[in-house]
Amino acid sequence: MHYALIMAGGAGTRLWPVSREHMPKPALRLYSDDSMFQIAVKRLDPLFTPENIFIVAGKDHSHVLAEQVPSIPAGNFIDEPMGRGTAPAIGLAAVHLAAIDPDAVMAVLTADHHIGNEAIFREVIAQAIEAAQSGYLVTLGIKPTWPSPEYGYIEQGERLSEFDGFRAYKAEQFVEKPSSAKAQKMLDLGNYSWNSGMFVWKVSTILEEIRMQMPELHGSLMRIAKALQEGTYEEVLAQEWPEIEKQTIDYGVMENASRVAVIPVDMDWLDVGNWASLKTLLPADKLGNSVRGDVILEDSSCNLVMGGKRLIAGIGLEDLIIVDTPDTLLVCHKDQVGKVRDMVARLKQEGREDLA
Amino acid sequence: MHYALIMAGGAGTRLWPVSREHMPKPALRLYSDDSMFQIAVKRLDPLFTPENIFIVAGKDHSHVLAEQVPSIPAGNFIDEPMGRGTAPAIGLAAVHLAAIDPDAVMAVLTADHHIGNEAIFREVIAQAIEAAQSGYLVTLGIKPTWPSPEYGYIEQGERLSEFDGFRAYKAEQFVEKPSSAKAQKMLDLGNYSWNSGMFVWKVSTILEEIRMQMPELHGSLMRIAKALQEGTYEEVLAQEWPEIEKQTIDYGVMENASRVAVIPVDMDWLDVGNWASLKTLLPADKLGNSVRGDVILEDSSCNLVMGGKRLIAGIGLEDLIIVDTPDTLLVCHKDQVGKVRDMVARLKQEGREDLA
């Protein structure tokens, strides 16, 4: 069987002040009446039934997410006691799925990416499942549209001839967020994809890779797996998890794994990482303003205004992000959205966790 | 006797959203714990006792102002049934003062101007009272510090030799808000002052000028004066006032009056007309930011942030005015503060008087 694992951890501090400690990014309704998490679940239909969709999220976030998608069984929410990065989170989910079905194929999916063409998305996931059944660690590559220095890249090697229904390539190399110059070079070469953070593999394959490359994590996971059988899961998880080292799946496994395939896809994809990227998803008026709520703008262009019930009056504004919440207002120049995260860090440092 | 008349009418829409229909500009605490009205009263001490200070204001505003300055007798608040400009307002006050004291000298003063040097202010008012007793219509001229196109100007003629304790000049000409080029010329010539809107005269002198130049207004005022004696003031005022034509004292009287004197004064004066001019009164940090309330700024310079209880986080902002109130937020570029008034007009037009 194949299963979807939606990664819904992560605070999304770059979308503060709408995202908060207690209200994670996937739960936000940013560009639709549905939350990003609800959208991420809906686009899996009919490839995965709700029973086959699992979610890994912070313990404090699961109930918010579960409420938003009541069709998914409560037992499918896998709680992380605390964030330890994608490698442990994926390992933990793999342990759960292996307990249900040792031959399971798992599609590791995101909840904070916009995918414009969902039919293509499902098609490529189906192809990736086929490749995963042959033992590959499959990554979904996104055809780059500009030389972004904010994404990781994957170099495509030779085409894998065993798949003739679709194009899959040997993944030659993972490239961390590059300089703009290097990004431009990769865009020109044409054989690089953005690393979407979406992967498909057999649980047995990924657990074997973890065993070889992250033996300590593997040891923890095996003790957790045993506890799952013996009915001591909660205690053992609470004991093991804090000791586990933080690591991403890219660093921890993918970069040095042997049988990695990449399937490049063009599906109108966007990492809704910050307010500037969200802006590109929202409809804009003739002057490029995207507004929500009770907003009046005069002599203003290319702004994003996320209002609420209060009136927001803007005069003579350009390239600003204005986000209004009941207890906090953010006004930020579009070129500086990267610093929103620093603002949240500063608030925490100053003991103002209630606003962070 | 001499009396102060503080003109506290006018909505001050350029300081929206803090100023509102029901909360006029003089009542606002903009740059001090005291409101501008309280400051305007305090700086009269000891030249005028509270009993000798009169206020003319809109009917809906008097109670707010009266609450702020309980030392002033309730009977000294002269209510305008509706705004009719400065000429009728001054005429109405003159009628009241004449009923108390036909030889009264009245100093017409403002409540929305900042005066840095209050000792000089009181000194010049005392001089103006002396000139007024000789039958002059005296205007306070402000020594211009830059070629402002936003103020009216007064040309100084020959010095009035009858006053040797101070310098008073014949006012040759009133100039409406000029072009910048014309303003520069007047600044260079050196014999022009800004028209401060502050005047001193005998009530008999101003009423006689109104009789000659604005006979219709004078007729109304005389009927109101008679009613004041006969105990039918409220009814007659309610009847006369709506019929009175709107007019400023400058247009209606000063520009064509014969015995007009100007006393130029340098007393650190500022018309707190809009958010940009208020900004110049407020202390600023090294980067030129003036903030009030719970505000955190990063990479931001030369902004005015008037916050309240909510956190305002600003990142990468320059030359912005941010004014937060419970029901409305204004974000405005400093060069566009003149358009705040248009925003208020637009709200009224759209039937949103509750926010205007």
Q: What is the pLDDT of residue A122?
A: 97
Interface of B with A (CB under 8 A): 17, 296, 298-299, 310-317, 320, 322, 324, 326-333, 335-337, 339-340, 342-343, 346-347, 352, 355
**3-state helix/strand/coil string of chain A:** CEEEEEECCCCCHHHCCCCECCECHHHCCCCCCCCHHHHHHHCCCCCCCHHHEEEEEECCCHHHHHHHCCCCCHHHEEEECCCCCHHHHHHHHHHHHHHHCCCCEEEEEECCEEECCHHHHHHHHHHHHHHHHCCCEEEEEECCCCCCCCCCEEEEEEECCCCCCCCCEEEEEEECCCCHHHHHHHHHHCCEEEEEEEEEEEHHHHHHHHHHHCHHHHHHHHHHHHHHHHCCHHHHHHHHHHHCCCCCHHHHCHHHCCCEEEEEECCCEEECCCHHHHHHHCCCCCCCCEEECCEEEECCECCEEECCCCEEEEECCECEEEEECCCEEEEEEHHHHHHHHHHHHHHHHCCCHHHC
* Residue B68 burial (10 A CB sphere; 0-12, 13-18, 19+): middle
Q: Quick one: average pLDDT of B139-156?
A: 94
Task: Please write the tens of the pLDDT for every residue from B290-348.
Answer: 999 999 999 999 999 999 889 999 999 999 999 999 999 999 999 999 999 999 999 99
- Test the B interface: residue of A329, A336, A347, A349 with most B CBs within 10 Å: A329
The nearest CA of chain B is from the CA of A315 a distance in Å of 5
Report the residue from B314, B340, B355 with minimal CB separation from A315: B340
Within 8 A of B322 by CB-CB distance, chain A residues are: 329, 331
Cβ within 8 Å, pair A299-B343: no
Type and span of the H or E element at B292? strand B290-292
Percent share of chain B, pLDDT over 90: 94
Q: Is the pLDDT of residue B10 over 80?
A: no
**What confidence score (pLDDT) does residue A309 get?**
87
The CATH architecture one would assign to domain A2-270 is Alpha-Beta Complex (3.90)
Map out the domains of chain A as residue ranges.
2-270, 275-355
Q: Do B314 and A331 touch (CB under 8 A)?
A: yes
User: How many residue pairs from chains A and B have C-beta atoms closer than 8 A?
Assistant: 110
pLDDT given at position A317: 98
Beta carbons of B332 and A355 less than 8 Å apart? no
- The answer to whether the CB of A83 falls within 8 A of the CB of A64 is no
Q: Is the ipTM reported for this complex over the cut 0.95?
A: no
Are the C-beta atoms of residues A111 and A89 closer than 8 Å to each other? no
Are B340 and A312 inside 8 Å of each other by CB? no
**What pTM was computed for the model?**
0.88
The answer for residues whose C-beta is within 8 angstroms of residue A157's C-beta and 6 or more apart is: A169, A170, A171, A172
Per-residue pLDDT tens digits for B29-67: 999 999 999 999 999 999 999 999 999 999 889 999 999
Lowest-confidence region among A21-25, A90-94, A189-193, B241-245: A21-25
* Whether the predicted pLDDT of A185 surpasses 80: yes
The predicted model gives B194-212 an average pLDDT of: 97
Q: Are A270 and A287 in contact (CB under 8 A)?
A: no
Q: Is the model's pLDDT at B183 over the cut of 90?
A: yes
Amino acid at residue number B34: D
In chain B, % of residues over pLDDT 70: 100
pLDDT of residue B21: 85
Average pLDDT score over residue span A166-188: 95
Residue length, chain A? 356
- Residue B296's closest chain A neighbor by CA? A343
- For residue B312, what is the nearest residue in chain A, using CA coordinates? A329
Beta carbons of B311 and A322 less than 8 Å apart: no
Nearest to A313 among B299, B330, B335 (CB): B330
pLDDT of residue A22: 83
The answer to whether A315 contacts B343, with C-beta atoms less than 8 Å apart, is: yes
Look up the CATH number of domain B2-271. 3.90.550.10
Who's near B134: CB < 8 A, 6+ residues apart?
A: B162
- For residue A123, the model assigns a pLDDT of 97
Residue of A nearest to B356 (CA): A311
Q: Which residue has the tokens 């520069």?
A: B184
